């Protein structure tokens, strides 16, 4: 379908865009794409078709990109479930990518915000037909279980993308685009025509991670695109396929609508010859979105400060839990055990440090000794790992072998091993790389150990003198090293208010008394701000207004009325 103009496309998607803008403002539950991979929703053969489509791409060169220029073919993806994908991707020279983006950006920036937003919603709607294929691609590049892979790289990430579109559209249309201005000046009146133009910053670069190659990438991509910036997507070399499918489908949509597919490009690379730093240093690249380790994030932030680039980063954090009191301790421990087990702890939101009153945890009027709390917590993790039905899908597989090295390293510190990290069997994938959660007990003075980030299945339980010491230790970690999530469990009203005040002032999002089927790891589009940009864990929040307004400027034109 090719629209010479965008009136029809705008009429088609403006109701959905309006719903998304309202949901952003109201922060209520809203989801456009259903998160359950049901045949009744997506088609009875959708799952089988998606799996077959994924398998058909194994050991074949990826040829679905529409971007232009010479390239070589490279690829090095391996499934954490024990086999090589064997897919080679077109690898373009950085000058080709940037040149394509600059050329395509001129056309893209001249569209009205409503037209850009409508094109992007159309691209998402069309790409949603790939949810199952993307899910299998995510599963076999990241190690996520199928359900998580479907939800995270499909409905949840697309909702996050829609959230960014709506936020960007709202921000660009907050001011009128033109006005008749008059000012009485005694016997005369000055009359001006004033027009206001949205001027994008320039080329956007989105640097993806290996564990959530779609969910962490799409918010920045769509925030840049909706505000008029062309985007280069640089995926992690070990997790290319999921985001490559999305980019290729978006390019096809752009071409179908008569637009330049180079408005969005894929910049595949290899570990031996990385492109991220090279691309980030190009003068035309003005906006950088990054998810990954702190060291490279700091490099990008310094580069941005020196060269006037906008850098929106999600880096590493050390997420604390304070456990003081609960009305139902079993419900709390069930929730926490699942939170640390989910995807073997390979989530930036996974709790790591558990500060527990050494005098015990109050359950109603009963004080449960510290040692019993810890053992019950370990037993809850044991139960998940031993459950043949839910264990494999919960823990998934380990994306990076270095994660297992971190588990072994942590256990070698001068700490007490409460629960050794084990493995979990995956039927049909005998060579899967797996790990279950190691629980280590550290002393409250060993902050040099537990304030490091152990990305993966490692948690520390730390006995403290009281609530005040737990707060002091947790706050120190947040302020010095950052955190994306903080959990507090207390039935004391004063402690709740104190925790809310102190953690929000420290720039960390707080979850209080989570039990049942809602976990601190989760972040809901249109309601939860993923990250705050207010502590060392990152400089971005998906998606507040600054996440989009930093990508464009408003420039005025004044003309005297004859």
Judge whether residue 2 has pLDDT over 50: no
Q: What is the pTM of this model?
A: 0.96
Distance of alpha carbon 552 from alpha carbon 517, whole angstroms: 39
Whether the upstream peptide bond of residue 543 has omega within 30° of 0, thus cis, is yes
Average pLDDT, the chain: 96
Q: What is the pLDDT of residue 197?
A: 96
Q: What is the pLDDT of residue 411?
A: 81
Q: What is the pLDDT of residue 4?
A: 52
Convert the pLDDT of each residue in 196-208 to its tens digit: 999 999 999 999 9
The enclosing H or E element of 74 equals strand 71-74
The sheet with strand 353-357 has its strands ordered as 416-419, 438-441, 458-464, 353-357, 320-323, 486-489, 510-512
Strand partners, 16: none
Query: Tokens at residue 230, please?
Result: 């062309």
User: What residue segments make up the domains of the chain, in order of their start?
Assistant: 37-173+200-315, 320-512
Distance of alpha carbon 120 from alpha carbon 250, whole angstroms: 8
Judge whether residue 70 has pLDDT over 50: yes
Convert the pLDDT of each residue in 402-438 to its tens digit: 999 888 888 888 999 999 999 999 999 999 999 999 9
320-512 belongs to which CATH class? alpha beta
Contacts of 353 (CB under 8 A, 6+ apart): 318, 319, 320, 321, 450, 451, 459, 460, 462, 473, 474, 477
Judge whether residue 1 has pLDDT over 70: no
Q: What is the CATH number of domain 37-173+200-315?
A: 3.40.605.10
Judge whether residue 482 has pLDDT over 80: yes
Judge whether residue 226 has pLDDT over 50: yes
Q: What is the pLDDT of residue 562?
A: 80
Judge whether residue 527 has pLDDT over 80: yes
Q: What is the pLDDT of residue 316?
A: 85
Q: What is the pLDDT of residue 5?
A: 67
Q: What is the pLDDT of residue 469?
A: 98
Convert the pLDDT of each residue in 81-111 to its tens digit: 999 999 999 999 999 999 999 999 999 999 9
Distance of alpha carbon 263 from alpha carbon 186, whole angstroms: 51
Convert the pLDDT of each residue in 317-366 to its tens digit: 899 999 999 999 999 999 999 999 999 999 999 999 999 999 999 999 99
Instruction: Evaluate whether 303 touches 280 at the Cβ level (below 8 Å).
Output: yes
Burial readout 10-28 (b: 16 or more C-beta within 10 A, e: otherwise): beebeebbeebbebbeeee
Higher-confidence position of 163 and 411: 163
Of the listed ranges 211-220, 245-254, 399-408, 455-464, the one predicted with least confidence? 399-408
């Amino acid at each position: 379908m090719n629209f010479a103009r965008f009136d029809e496309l705008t009429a088609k998607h403006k109701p959905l865009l309006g719903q998304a803008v309202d949901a952003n403002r109201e922060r209520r539950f809203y989801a456009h794409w259903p998160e359950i991979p049901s045949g009744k929703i997506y088609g009875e053969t959708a799952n089988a078709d998606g799996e077959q489509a994924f398998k058909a791409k194994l050991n074949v060169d990826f040829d679905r990109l529409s971007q232009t220029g010479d390239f070589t073919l490279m690829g090095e993806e391996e499934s954490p479930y024990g086999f090589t994908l064997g897919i080679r991707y077109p690898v373009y020279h950085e000058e080709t990518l940037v040149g394509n983006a600059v050329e395509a950006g001129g056309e893209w920036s001249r569209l009205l915000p409503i037209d850009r937003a409508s094109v992007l919603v159309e691209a998402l709607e069309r790409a949603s037909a790939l949810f199952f294929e993307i899910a299998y691609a995510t599963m076999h590049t990241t190690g996520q279980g199928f359900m998580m892979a479907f939800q995270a790289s499909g409905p949840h990430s697309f909702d996050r993308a829609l959230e960014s579109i709506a936020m960007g559209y709202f921000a660009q249309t907050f001011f009128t685009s033109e006005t008749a201005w008059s000012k009485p000046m005694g016997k005369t009146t000055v009359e001006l025509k004033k027009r206001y133009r949205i001027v994008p910053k320039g080329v956007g670069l989105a640097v993806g991670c290996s564990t959530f190659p779609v969910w962490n990438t799409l918010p920045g991509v769509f925030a840049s695109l909706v505000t008029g910036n062309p985007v280069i997507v640089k995926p992690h070399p070990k997790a290319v396929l999921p985001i490559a499918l999305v980019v290729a489908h978006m390019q096809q949509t752009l071409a179908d609508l008569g637009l330049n597919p180079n408005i969005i490009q894929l910049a595949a690379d290899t570990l031996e010859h990385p492109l991220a730093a090279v691309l980030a240093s190009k003068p035309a690249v003005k906006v950088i979105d990054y998810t990954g380790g702190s060291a490279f994030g700091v490099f990008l932030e310094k580069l941005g400060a020196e060269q006037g680039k906008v850098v929106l980063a999600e880096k590493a954090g050390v997420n604390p839990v304070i456990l003081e009191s609960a009305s139902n301790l079993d419900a709390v421990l069930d929730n926490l055990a699942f939170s640390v087990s989910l995807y073997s702890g390979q989530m930036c939101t996974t709790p790591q440090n558990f500060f527990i009153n050494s005098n015990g945890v109050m359950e109603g009027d009963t004080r449960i000794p510290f040692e019993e709390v810890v053992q019950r917590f370990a037993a809850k993790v044991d139960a998940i790992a031993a459950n043949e039905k839910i264990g494999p899908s919960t823990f998934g597989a380990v994306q990076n072998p270095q994660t297992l090295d971190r588990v072994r390293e942590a256990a070698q510190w001068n700490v007490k091993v409460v629960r050794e990290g084990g493995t979990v069997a995956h039927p049909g994938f005998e060579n899967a790389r797996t790990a279950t959660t190691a629980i280590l007990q550290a002393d409250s003075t060993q902050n040099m150990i537990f304030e490091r980030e152990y990305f993966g299945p490692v948690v520390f339980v730390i006995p403290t003198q009281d609530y005040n010491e737990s707060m002091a230790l947790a706050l120190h970690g947040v302020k010095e090293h950052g955190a994306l999530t903080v959990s507090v469990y207390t039935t004391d009203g004063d402690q709740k208010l104190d925790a809310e005040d102190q953690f929000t002032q420290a720039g960390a999002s707080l979850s209080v008394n989570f039990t049942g089927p809602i976990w601190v790891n989760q972040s809901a589009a249109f309601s939860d701000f993923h990250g705050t940009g207010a502590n060392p864990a990152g400089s971005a929040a998906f998606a507040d207004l600054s996440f989009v307004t930093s990508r464009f400027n408003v420039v005025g034109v004044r003309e005297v009325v004859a």
